[in-house]
């Protein structure tokens, strides 16, 4: 084998794992391919959060088996842990790798050691570097299968996180995304115990020329010192994504999400007060079992009144073995309609947030180029498109924002 391709499904934790695998495959002498059809080795990092994710994974595996039958096809991650028997029927799979064996996946597959190369010699396949600092979850939300496939919470020791950040900064990365299945549990399993806010303080103290962005945060654990650090540190991007799930008190209780909508509302307002220009996003489930018309309207009102700037809306799908799967289900057509309504509210909020920055000049990170243009991302999660002037990926630039478009903002380089 001389080449590899990694296909990710699901969360940012999977993205962080793939980032490390890409480095290690290259250290072992393989080159990255841009398409699965051209690669000798194809690794599929799976997701099983929803039934839709399951279908997408299986569809991709079948396509690779059909279009590149000679490839060594490896299927890894959450779907392997949850439904290995279902995957056994798929064609051309060379290896199955459960979550427990993912840490050193490249060396397990190739049975080799690095060939004397240094990570600094490897060209990154993205301009932002994700780091998985935590895995697993100690909670049991009624809808979620992930604790059963990822296991209990496990944290990367602070020293290793800080070492990784130093290394990435030395290689020229100007942003790192800290990821985890339940980030707010970071450090609780370590001896001595620590916390996410303490880790962030230590990272800020390094004084690196790098911003930190955090993946999804549990609103039940965002009060006090953690919220102070998130909204008060110049090293942390003002972009906060919280796992709200719903805006109905009763449904949040049924989901096993203690705290409730009133607490969530106060938290969001405090976030906005502390960080007026932050992007604040959320995960929302539409069509959760037992969701009445009145509770859906309650959720809509909550979202419309909130300072959220976007939300990812998931249509509920029953996950085998979870308590919610045994509850009375909402009709699929009703769930689909409610999902569409909530996504429309999200689109309106996103457009209003973007429009507030038209005419302003902002700093942004060059993240990709395509079709004679470059795409940039600001600290507060504004996606910008600017005519290409040759700026290298990974550099920061000042951009004058000119107008709102469907998928972001149009602008021009300033200075």
Q: Determine what percent of the chain falls in helix, strand and coil, rounding each to the nearest 5.
A: 40, 25, 35
Cα distances (Å, whole numbers) of residue 267 to 37, 186, 241, 380: 47, 20, 12, 18
Say whether both 228 and 321 belong to one domain: yes
pLDDT given at position 120: 45
The full length of the chain comes to: 415
242: three-class secondary structure by DSSP: strand
Is residue 372 one of the residues assigned to a domain?
yes
Q: What is the CATH number of the domain that holds 104?
A: 3.40.50.12160
Give the C-alpha distances (Å, rounded to integers) separating 212 from 29, 100, 126, 200, 366.
30, 27, 15, 9, 16
Start-to-end CA span in the chain (Å): 47
Residue at a domain's end among 46, 80, 110: 110
Report how far residue 133's alpha carbon sits from residue 116's, in angstroms, rounded to the nearest whole number: 27
Same domain, 134 and 242: yes
Residues 43 and 101 in one domain: yes
DSSP conformation class of 407: T
92 and 195 co-located in one domain: no
Asked if the structure places residue 160 within a domain, the reply is yes
Evaluate whether residue 209 is within a structural domain: yes
Same domain membership, residue 180 and residue 43: no
Q: Which of 81, 110, 139 is the last residue before a domain boundary?
A: 110
Task: Label residue 371 left, alpha or beta by phi (over 0 means left) and psi (-120 to 50 means alpha).
Answer: left
Residues 260 and 127 in one domain: yes
- Name which of 36, 109, 48 is nearest 80 in CA terms: 48
Mark whether 227 and 321 lie in a shared domain: yes
How far is CA 286 from each of CA 267, 311, 314, rounded to the nearest angstrom? 22, 12, 6
Please name which of 113, 115, 65 lies closest in space to residue 89, comparing C-alpha atoms.
65
Secondary structure letter of residue 318 according to DSSP: -
On whether both 257 and 401 belong to a single domain, the answer is: no
pTM, 2 dp: 0.93
C-alpha–C-alpha distance, residues 79 and 145, integer Å: 10
Count of other CB atoms within 10 angstroms of residue 163: 11
Same domain assignment for residues 327 and 378: no
Does residue 78 lie within any of the structural domains? yes
Tell me: do 216 and 300 sit in the same domain.
Answer: yes
| 22, part of any domain | yes
**238: CATH:** 3.80.30.20
CA atoms of 407 and 415, how far apart (whole Å) = 25
Dihedral over Cα of 343, 349, 351, 353: its sign: negative
Claim to verify: residue 263 and residue 386 sit in the same structural domain: no
The residue segments making up the domain with residue 404 are 361-413
Place of tokens 């799908």: 317
> For position 119, what pLDDT does the model report?
47
Domain boundary among 78, 110, 142: 110
Domain count, the chain: 3
Q: What is the pLDDT of residue 121?
A: 46
In a domain, 116, yes or no: no
The strand ranges marked E within 316-372 are 361-370
pLDDT in tens, the chain (415 residues): 899 999 999 999 999 999 999 999 999 999 999 999 999 999 999 999 999 999 999 999 999 999 999 999 999 999 999 999 999 999 999 999 999 999 889 999 998 765 544 444 454 546 789 999 999 999 999 999 999 999 999 999 999 999 999 999 999 999 999 999 999 999 999 999 999 999 999 999 999 999 999 999 999 999 889 999 999 999 999 999 999 999 999 999 999 998 889 999 999 999 999 999 999 999 999 999 999 999 999 999 999 999 999 999 999 999 999 999 999 999 999 999 999 999 999 999 999 999 999 999 999 999 998 889 999 999 999 999 999 998 999 999 999 999 999 889 999 999 7
E-state strands within 119-180 = 129-132, 134-135, 154-155, 175-179
Which residues are CB-contacts of 77 (< 8 A; sequence separation ≥ 6)? 10, 14, 17, 45, 46, 47, 97, 98, 99, 102
Residues with Cβ < 8 Å from 231, sequence gap 6 or more? 238, 271, 274, 275, 278
> Quick check: is 115 in a domain?
no
Considering the domain architecture, whether residues 254 and 309 belong to the same structural domain is answered as yes
- Cβ proximity of 159 and 192 under 8 Å: no
């Amino acid at each position: 084998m001389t080449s590899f391709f990694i296909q990710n499904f699901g969360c940012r934790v999977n993205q962080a794992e793939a980032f490390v695998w890409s480095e290690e495959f290259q250290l072992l002498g393989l080159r990255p391919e841009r398409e699965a059809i051209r690669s000798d080795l194809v690794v599929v990092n799976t997701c099983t959060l929803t039934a839709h994710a399951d279908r997408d994974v299986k569809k991709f595996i079948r396509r690779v088996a059909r279009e590149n039958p000679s490839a060594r096809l490896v299927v890894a991650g959450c779907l392997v842990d949850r439904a290995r028997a279902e995957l056994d029927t798929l064609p051309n799979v060379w290896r199955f790798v459960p979550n427990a064996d993912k840490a050193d996946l490249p060396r397990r597959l190739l049975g080799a050691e690095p060939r004397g190369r240094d990570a600094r010699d490897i060209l990154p396949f993205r301009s932002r570097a994700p780091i998985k600092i935590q895995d697993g979850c100690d909670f049991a939300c009624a809808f979620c299968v992930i604790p059963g496939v990822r296991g209990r919470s496990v944290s990367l020791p602070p020293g290793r996180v800080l070492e990784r950040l130093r290394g990435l900064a030395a290689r020229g990365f100007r942003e790192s995304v800290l990821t985890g299945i339940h980030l707010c549990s970071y450090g609780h399993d370590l001896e001595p115990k620590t916390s996410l806010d303490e880790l962030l303080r230590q990272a800020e103290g390094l004084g690196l020329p790098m911003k930190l962005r955090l993946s999804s945060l549990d609103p039940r654990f965002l009060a006090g010192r953690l919220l102070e650090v998130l909204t008060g540190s110049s090293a942390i991007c003002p972009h906060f994504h919280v796992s709200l799930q719903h805006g109905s008190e009763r449904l949040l209780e049924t989901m096993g999400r203690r705290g409730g909508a009133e607490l969530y509302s106060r938290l969001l307002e405090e976030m906005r007060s502390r960080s007026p220009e932050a992007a604040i996003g959320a995960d929302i489930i539409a069509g959760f079992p037992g969701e009445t018309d009145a509770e859906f309207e309650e959720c809509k009102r909550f979202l419309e009144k909130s300072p959220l700037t976007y939300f990812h809306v998931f249509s509920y799908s029953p996950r085998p073995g979870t308590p919610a799967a045994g509850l009375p289900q909402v009709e699929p057509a009703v769930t689909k309609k409610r999902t569409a309504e909530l996504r429309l509210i999200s689109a309106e909020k996103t457009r209003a947030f973007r429009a507030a920055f038209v005419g302003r000049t902002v700093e942004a990170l060059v993240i990709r180029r395509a079709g004679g243009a470059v795409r940039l991302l600001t600290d507060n999660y504004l996606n910008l498109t600017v005519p290409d002037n040759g700026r290298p990926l990974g550099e920061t630039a000042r951009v004058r924002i000119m107008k709102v478009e469907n998928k972001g903002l149009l602008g021009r380089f300033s200075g």
